[in-house]
Chains A and B, each alone.
Chain A
Amino acid sequence: MENEQSYQVINESPRSKKLTWLIHHFQREWRLYIMLAPTLIWFILFLYKPMYGLQIAFKDYSVFKGITDSPWIGLEHFYTLFENDQFIRAIKNTVIISGASLLFGFPVPIILALMFNEIINPKFKKTAQTIVYLPHFISAVIIAGIVITAFAPSTGVVNLLLNALGYDSVYFLTKPEWFRTIFVGTGIWQEAGFNSIVFLASIAGVNPSLYESAVVDGASRWQMMWKITLPCIMPTILIMLIIRIGNILEVGFEMIIMLYQPATYATSDVISTFIYRQGLQAAQYDLAAAAGLFNAVIAFVLVIAANTISKKVSRTSLW
């Protein structure tokens, strides 16, 4: 009897063997698929379905006809966009604001991490860290609210200080020349502390015996910071830099929406705020979707490039 059975098992074709294996697999593991399914459905419904909707960038979208039935018009929206000075300006502003944030904002968390690392009193260190991480968790609305309040022409603390120093009040938020400074500065104030976490973690991974031998060799703390800590976290710095460059099209546009006004559009209007105004406020969905697609494709290329490079870097930096 038993022999016969095992013969049957052996004689099964590979295909039906695979099938029985699948059946057994699902009998055993169906719960995993139940756990996975809702999220996959969510991704399809809320993130992949809109990708299908992206086709309106090439269509003359009409609300009544819907996405599928609106007529194709090819690249017309893109021609329109690139003839639009506002869009060109938005690209320029995006790159400038992002670039400035990177240039001035990138070193700050590194310096902060190095400084935190040199603090000896653990309580002081912990308290300081807790405080500087905090702004990251505060909403753009409130941060913007604080900025608006602090820079208000007659009551804000900044102008009060200027007055005290004998200068006239400046209505900062209506001055295009001030917008970028205020925006980038606020960004650094809000995120530098939180961004230092990555570097602190990297510093924590440095082999302690390096410092011990340096102490024995008579190195000062300043020297150890420059000669040991900084070189050891260089790979992390490099990778973070590459990732940041890859995300250069990403600006905190919630904050911009809060802070900008027509008077400052010349310097403050970025791609996402342009899309918001064209699409959601002026209901030019197809044109705005085209702008969005352009943005998304460039961003995708940049991010993938950055990722590839950072992987290479992290591999080579191991050696």
Chain B
Amino acid sequence: MGLTQEDKKALAKDAREKVATFGSDIDMDAFTPETDEHPYVEDISSFSQTEREQMLKAGVDLGAKNRSGTFVQKNLSVVHGRSSQEGMEIMDIEEARDKYNWLYDYWWKAVPVDMDKYTARAELHQEHGYFIRSLPGVKSIYPLQACLYLEEDNLAQDVHNIIIAEEGSELHIITGCATAPHVRSGLHVGISEFYVKKGAKLTFTMIHNWAGKMAVRPRSATIVEQGGLFLSNYVCMQPVGTLQMYPVTHLVGEESTARYNSILVATPGSEMDVGSRVFLKAKGARAEIISRAITTGGKITARGHIKGEVPGIKAHLECKGLILSDKGIIHAVPELEGHRMEVDLSHEAAVGKIAQEEVEYLMARGLSEEEATSTIVRGFLHVEIEGLPPELKAEMDRAVEISEKSLL
């Protein structure tokens, strides 16, 4: 790597004004950078009813027995972080930084610190975030869960997360971002760097449950080594002001695999620019990107980019959009980039309204028009995800179900 701490700081300073490639430009000074500290909460059951409910909508179940560990950050304080399984670590990233010298080697290794003004801000203003790691060969019995919670209106939350699945380990994570019911606006900048080591498996489900005027700029990247598997699921079906993210996976090891699934619903006033990209850099690498986008009046840009850099790779991109209101816009931008003859890249994109023929088919079986429509929409959102642990699937299904009700 060669970059020192000081080098990174300097790069960040230079990038402070660097406008991002995608998404509307956010005036970050409009948000409050500081707030009171919250005390650490040892007993998970002492979170308030409201907090628990809001977190649950983002897939983080504080009452669940089937979790191997929990992390909660409220505003700018880490209020809980504990693992209940040997070989699984979940803690405040600051704590991890104190504990492990080597953590600096992973800091800004997957995501460039000077990518744009948001990464720069995270370097210069970062307050906590989580560190999750599975030790070599350890397989998580239940998923770990992490929640980033905003309780104060108009606050800026800048976190840096690092997730490492060590060699031969299996790590399953549910993360949720949520706001308290009274919160309307705020800024969330979240850096997430994932490292999937040789033969390891990492499944990651992220559910966003923001507020109508939130500005959200996650910056994520993953590096997958030989034989590793990275499976990422993203669900954002609740209103959000502006959301832009374009996570990338670098498949650097032979026979490594990445799969992204995203489910997006843009309500009126929501603006989403969301995509996934995978760079296939080693023989036998495989990738699949699937997205489902629905607009009920908001704007969605659904991106996807697959780049095959070496022979003997295979990847597929599937992007489907459903327009349920004439006020909504879906802009699908699938990109395939092959740099060698022996690459196998394909894509499938479709944007449109619900097929009348399908609605009528169901009506002929006795469903009303509304019932038929909601059945089709539910089917549209139902994507089968291979290799997803039951707990992660259950949380995804729950998030989809909650939103479906308000959708139609």
Question: Is chain B a partner of chain A in the same complex?
Answer: no
Please list the residues of chain B having a beta carbon within 8 angstroms of any beta carbon in chain A: none
